[in-house]
Amino acid sequence: MPLAHMLSALEAAIATLQYGEHPPELYDPIRYIMDLGGKRMRPLLTLLSSSLFTDTWQPFVRPDIAVEVFHNFTLMHDDIMDAAPLRRGKPTVHMKWNNSAAILSGDVMLVAAYELLAEITDAQLRPVLKKFNRCAAQVCEGQQLDMNFEARTDVAEEEYLEMIRLKTAVLLGFSLELGAILAGASEKDQQLLYKAGVSIGTGFQLKDDLLDVFGDSAKFGKQVGGDIIANKKTFLLIKALQLTEGEREQQLNNWLQAKDFDPAEKVQAVTSIYGQLGIRELTEAKMNEYFTVGLQAMDQVDVPAARKKPLQDLVERLIYREN
Amino acid sequence: MPLAHMLSALEAAIATLQYGEHPPELYDPIRYIMDLGGKRMRPLLTLLSSSLFTDTWQPFVRPDIAVEVFHNFTLMHDDIMDAAPLRRGKPTVHMKWNNSAAILSGDVMLVAAYELLAEITDAQLRPVLKKFNRCAAQVCEGQQLDMNFEARTDVAEEEYLEMIRLKTAVLLGFSLELGAILAGASEKDQQLLYKAGVSIGTGFQLKDDLLDVFGDSAKFGKQVGGDIIANKKTFLLIKALQLTEGEREQQLNNWLQAKDFDPAEKVQAVTSIYGQLGIRELTEAKMNEYFTVGLQAMDQVDVPAARKKPLQDLVERLIYREN
């Protein structure tokens, strides 16, 4: 069970990270958000990527955590910008402390991510740093685009796909690429894994969009239809706005503009419009395109098929997940 | 005139920095705050420090700008936390755009600082990165302490001095140290320059505290007495609270608790209490202690005295500045 072994190595390393102590308002939020859990998907992808090329992935556990720390930094700052009250069912940092503490703790987390990366060997340090910087800037670009889209009603499908590539997918690409770099993989294999991560990561976001509407509420873990209630510009809504016309377009627009409404009724009505337009099937087709491109890139990585099994298993588990 | 030459090299490099273009809400604020100007004190100190050891400081201009970009990142985020409307007489980023743009642009600026540092040669990259990380975390610690002090009335002199060391002085220490590292100075000289920067930087902050009360309003450039009006816990106020007793203590506390007051009257009254307690002289003595320790450390740097002239000139100009 390499995966369980890796996950416990990651959790152990995360549990022993030293961020600093004083003042507590600066460092307690970091421990708090890191302890909220999550799948640890990004550093797991990094370790699995390394293990394609070497059996000694253990030395990479510490620098790998940089991607998890960075990811949680983005969550802490995004939650302020989105005024989100909850994260994984617990109060967000800016709610539990305040906005200033969340800004400043996030800043220190970004520094902590760089400090973890600084453990990488000399020959790899600069290339990793430059790729990480590019990825980090792109994640910020994606978040800004996502906020810009909130105020727009004319977001095109291509714009949306570019936004999720930046906001979500490039970090998965970097996570796989980092593992390959650390393990001394060829430039070609590094690039294939980056491509695989970006493509599969885009698919994951489309999967999230789908689960929010069509997920099984018992398994999903959060309110099904939350995106519909909030008029969130997901792939589904953008596609529906693109395809709908006539009376149905009017109905959809009425729901988008409604101020006073019964949430359950809105979810039911918009989901029904999605159903009439075949939005679920269109989104699944687009998602599967991305998964296919990503899995093909992974197939081309120049190591025996048997070595790829654990990474493929994780990716498939994430593809078929229901929450 | 090495200083003028260095300053124009810095300004030219700053003017041609590429931060990214899209989305504009993310990158325009970076150009805006970097274009607000300022003394460029930190990268100037770095270049002058390098020039103690080598005449070819030109290759260090780009990585040096990292300290200026980092400094402006801290200003952008601090202004949100302090709800500051103006910076150098212009609207702050969060006022001109909004809080989210200021958070996210600041994040990208921090990444941009690391990208500039990534230009440092292989042998120096890791040590510089680790020292920069430590400095960056300390600056955040200082800002958090500063915010914590706002809600307290019992801040001790030593706590205040430690706060300004973290918030302000360590970055000046790092700036001088960075110049020494880049120029290949000995470990001992690197440490002396770090010590000089931290000590002189602490003195600079005490100077700021003094100028805010006793500055010449015609030369100071901002409202004299602003710290008094806002009850800011400066060295002067902390010292006054420590020394005052009896009726004068009551007067001072009344002014601190006053809700409705004439600002000019409050400034005049508190300044008068400072005068009766000899606060100006006590603060100047403490400031001069720090300057002396810093200048002595600089004296011990193992290069001919003549080479130190430009750096000493700048430091003295900053020591005797009136704004």
Q: Is the pLDDT of residue A321 over 90?
A: no
Q: Is the pLDDT of residue A139 over 80?
A: yes
Q: What element of type H or E holds B86?
A: strand B86-87
**Is the ipTM, as predicted for this complex, more than 0.90?**
yes
pTM for the full predicted model:
0.96
Q: Would you kindly state where each structural domain of chain A is located, as residue ranges?
A: 1-119, 124-323
Confidence bin at A299 (pLDDT 50/70/90): very high
**Half-sphere exposure (CA, 13 Å, Cβ side) for B257?**
7
A101 with B77: Cβ contact below 8 A:
no
A114 with B115: Cβ contact below 8 A:
no
Kind of pairing, strands A90-91 and B86-87? unpaired
Closest in A20, A25, A143 to B148, CB measured: A25
Confidence bin at A1 (pLDDT 50/70/90): low
Q: Which residue has the tokens 């503490």?
A: A101
**Number of helical H runs and strand E runs in chain A:** 17, 2
Q: Which CATH superfamily is domain A1-119 in?
A: Farnesyl Diphosphate Synthase (1.10.600.10)
Q: Residue B85 corresponds to which amino acid?
A: P
pLDDT value of residue A261: 94
Question: Using a CB-CB distance cutoff of 8 angstroms, which residues of chain B are in contact with residue A100?
Answer: 80-81, 147
Closest Cα of chain A to B23: distance in Å? 6
Contacting B with CB below 8 Å, chain A residues are: 20, 22-23, 25-26, 77, 80-81, 99-101, 103-104, 106-108, 110-112, 114-115, 118, 122, 125-126, 129-130, 133, 136-137, 140-141, 143-145, 147-148
Closest Cα of chain A to B143: distance in Å? 8
Closest in A111, A112, A122 to B126, CB measured: A122
What would the pLDDT profile of A180-192 be if each residue is shown by its tens digit? 999 999 999 999 9
Residue to substitute from A77, A139, A141, interface B, most B β-carbons within 10 A: A141
Angle between helices A99-117 and A122-150 (to 10 degrees): 150
A137 with B108: Cβ contact below 8 A:
yes
Q: Residue A179 corresponds to which amino acid?
A: G
Identify the weakest region by mean pLDDT among A148-162, A187-201, B221-235. B221-235
Question: Using a CB-CB distance cutoff of 8 angstroms, which residues of chain B are in contact with residue A77?
Answer: 103-104, 107
Question: One digit per residue, pLDDT tens: chain B, 323 residues?
Answer: 588 999 999 999 999 999 888 999 999 999 999 999 889 999 999 999 999 999 999 999 999 999 999 999 999 999 999 999 999 999 999 999 999 999 999 999 999 999 999 999 999 999 999 999 999 999 999 999 999 999 898 999 999 999 999 999 999 999 999 999 999 999 999 999 999 999 999 999 999 999 999 988 777 667 789 999 999 999 999 999 999 999 999 999 999 999 999 999 999 999 999 999 999 999 999 999 999 999 999 999 999 999 999 999 999 999 998 87
pLDDT value of residue B311: 96
Closest Cα of chain B to A138: distance in Å? 9
d(CA A125, CA B16): 26
What Å distances lie between residue A308 and A30, A177, A301, CA to CA?
34, 15, 9
A148 with B115: Cβ contact below 8 A:
no
Angle between helices A279-300 and A305-319 (to 10 degrees): 160
Which residue in chain A is spatially nearest to B127 when comparing CA positions?
A118
What Å distances lie between residue A235 and A75, A157, B45, CA to CA?
21, 7, 51
Question: Using a CB-CB distance cutoff of 8 angstroms, which residues of chain B are in contact with residue A125?
Answer: 122, 125-126, 129
The pair of three-digit structure tokens given for residue A206, joined into one six-digit string: 């489309």
Q: Is the pLDDT of residue A203 over 70?
A: yes
Which residue in chain B is spatially nearest to A106 when comparing CA positions?
B107
| Chain A / chain B CB contacts < 8 angstroms | 116
Q: Which CATH number fits domain A124-323: 3.40.50.720, 2.30.30.240, 2.60.40.1890, 1.10.600.10?
A: 1.10.600.10
Q: Do domains A1-119 and A124-323 have the same CATH topology?
A: yes
d(CA B32, CA A22): 33
